[in-house]
Amino acid sequence: MEQSNNYKTIMRIVGAVVFVLLFLLVYSKIYNVFRYKDTHGDYLSMPVILKDLPKDSLDVAFVGSSHTVCGVLPAVIWEETGISSMNVGISGMDKSTCIATLNELFKYQSPQVVLVDLYNVTFDEHAVEGNVVRAMFAYEPFESKGLPVIDQDRKRLIDNEIRINGDSDRYELADANDYYLEWPIVHSRYQELKANDFRENPRYEYWLGEEPVMRTSLISPPELYSIPPEAYILSDENKEYIDEVIRIVESNGSQVVFTIIPYPDYSDKDFIQFMSADSYIRGMGYNIINGLFLQPDIGYSYDTDFFNGDHLNYWGAKKVSGYLANYLMMFYELEDHRDDPKYMRWEKNWEYMHQMDQKWDLQNDENGAFGTVIRSSLGSNLCTIIKVTGDLSPEGSSSAIAYAFGISEADLAKGGAWIIDSGEKVARYLPGNGEEIEYEVNKNLSVKICDSKDDKTDIYFNLDRRNMINSDDESGLEIFVYDEVLDEMIYNGVIK
């Protein structure tokens, strides 16, 4: 009897331990889905990247709103100088959020130069709800420990004085209890669950805070305001803010430079605050890069380099980043890290930019450059699937492209499909023999090629857990190009 009781006791203990372990496992999985995630659209978290970077590996930090996020590309600065920089920007960054971000930056990194954009001198409110949370609570608990802990210094910055959602006539108290009650349901400023709530965004491996936008809008040049200098009166709030930025940066042993990333859609009131801040900063002996007046030096165009009235596009950001790279090289002694394996993230970030250029070339080929692009990029992280439909002329453009891939005229005449991964033919499918081939490109993409019931060649793609099928009837050389760095199908077209 005693032995039986001991056995039951042991089994209860084992059952309790198993229950606790299972509970913790389930809780951790649920928590990873619903936990607070940072403000970028696919939950790319700037604070997490700051922690993941090797200690004190950051030479230069760019701090600002979406003007900085869209307008500064660390890859350009790396390519031209080997300087390690990061875009420590947050959409709608207001003044108190900037102060909180600077404090967070210096927890993990010791950049020699910090460039702080001044777009937020044009408004006093929180433009994005996520920034209320970020300024009110310490960054770290949301990203690692879960339950938020109020940071009283940051709460003080916004209590009783911050306007919400840009409504200048309505003031609201920033009440921390509201966010306790909503946690963790409001897990981001995008309140719907998305794919990256369930798995980490693959861009984490090389992302440095940038959000390039590859589209163009024809923008009217800004109005030239004739405002006398005596009207340049900086508000007390903006003076206190600029002074606090200088204090934080210098107390951490770094040098501060202020910027105004160029954009055309500013008002006369915005212009007054920009020029007042410019005068105030220069009067104290600090540097400011005022992009509103540097169009000839930077070379940006209102016809080609903006995607809306407030933001530079990818090509405009390249020009601004090139100017900033030259500025940093001219005025600061910063080391070239391009041969240092510690800085592999920056090399991968540059590779990402290169792949973005390649994607654009493939998708916007108006001058017959497709074959040239393909030939020049066979070895650069591309997996290409080629399928022959119908009879091709040996002298046609489609055959010429196939030859560039190393496909012979005899093989082309037999039809079927080929898989070419990073320049190497890894699989060949011949139609009509009843067989099928499968190839796993990486953990996110697998390809299967087989005959369909009506003697056509079907290609099945399993990309990011989404199944796609292709069985196009159009005669020609059909080409699919998958970019392993961007993790997306960047081209699908039929070449006649």
What single letter denotes the amino acid at residue 452?
Answer: S
Asked whether residue 65 carries a pLDDT value surpassing 80, the answer given is: yes
Least confident of 24-28, 43-47, 276-280: 43-47
User: Averaged over 17-24, what is the pLDDT?
Assistant: 92
Distance CA 95, CA 235 (A): 13
Using omega within 30 degrees of 0 as the cis cutoff, is the peptide bond preceding 228 cis? no
Question: What pLDDT digit, counting tens, does each position of 233-250 carry?
Answer: 899 999 999 999 999 999
End-to-end, the C-alpha distance of the chain in Å comes to 86
Contact 113, 255 (CB under 8 A): yes
Q: Is it the case that residue 369 has pLDDT exceeding 70?
A: no
Spatial contact of 270 and 65, defined as CB atoms under 8 Å apart: no
CB atoms within 10 A of CB 179: 18
Instruction: Inform me whether the pLDDT recorded for 259 exceeds 90.
Output: yes
User: Is the model's pLDDT at 185 over the cut of 50?
Assistant: no
What's the pLDDT score for residue 39?
46
Q: Is the pLDDT of residue 278 over 80?
A: yes
pLDDT surpassing 90 at residue 408: no
CA distance linking residue 368 with residue 370, whole number of Å? 6
Mean pLDDT of 244-265: 96
Whole-number Cα distances in Å, 311 to 215, 260, 263, 407, 436: 11, 12, 6, 45, 49
Residue 7: the pLDDT is 74
Q: Average pLDDT over the chain, rounded to whole? A: 80
**Taking the CB of residue 306, how many other CB atoms lie within 10 A of it?**
27
Tens digits of residue pLDDT in 323-336: 999 999 999 999 99
Lowest mean pLDDT among 70-84, 249-263, 363-377: 363-377
State both tokens at 378: 């066979």
Q: In what order do the strands lie in the sheet with 476-483?
A: 424-429, 416-421, 382-389, 476-483, 488-495
pLDDT of residue 472: 57
Q: Which residue has the higher pLDDT, 416 or 311?
A: 311
pLDDT of 160 reads 36
Q: What is the pLDDT of residue 424?
A: 83
Residue with tokens 């959602």: 165
CA distance 140 to 52: 13
Give the strands of the sheet with 287-290, arranged side by side.
85-89, 60-64, 113-117, 255-260, 287-290
Closest among 64, 115, 61, 105 to 84, alpha carbons compared: 61
pLDDT on residue 432: 74
- The pLDDT of residue 428 is above 50: yes
- CA gap 78, 69 in Å, rounded: 16
Which pLDDT band holds residue 61 (cuts at 50, 70, 90)? very high
Across the range 218-241, mean pLDDT stands at: 84
Residue 124: predicted pLDDT: 79
- How far is residue 70's CA from residue 210's CA, in Å, rounded to a whole number? 6
Query: What is the phi/psi pair of residue 28, to 5°?
Result: -65, -40
For residue 35, the model assigns a pLDDT of: 61
Residue 90: closest CA among 68, 72, 107, 73:
68
Distance from chain centroid for Cα 261 = 18
CA dist., res. 317 & res. 336, Å (int): 22
- Please list the helix, strand and coil fractions of the chain in percent, rounded to the nearest 5, in that order: 45, 20, 40
Q: In which band, very low, low, confident or very high, does the pLDDT at 360 lie, cut at 50, 70 and 90?
A: confident
CA distance 83 to 111: 11
Alpha helices in 332-469 (DSSP H): 344-363, 370-376, 397-404, 409-414
Cβ–Cβ under 8 Å, residues 248 and 288: no
pLDDT for 124-181, tens place per residue? 776 665 566 555 544 544 343 333 444 444 444 444 343 333 443 333 444 545 544 4
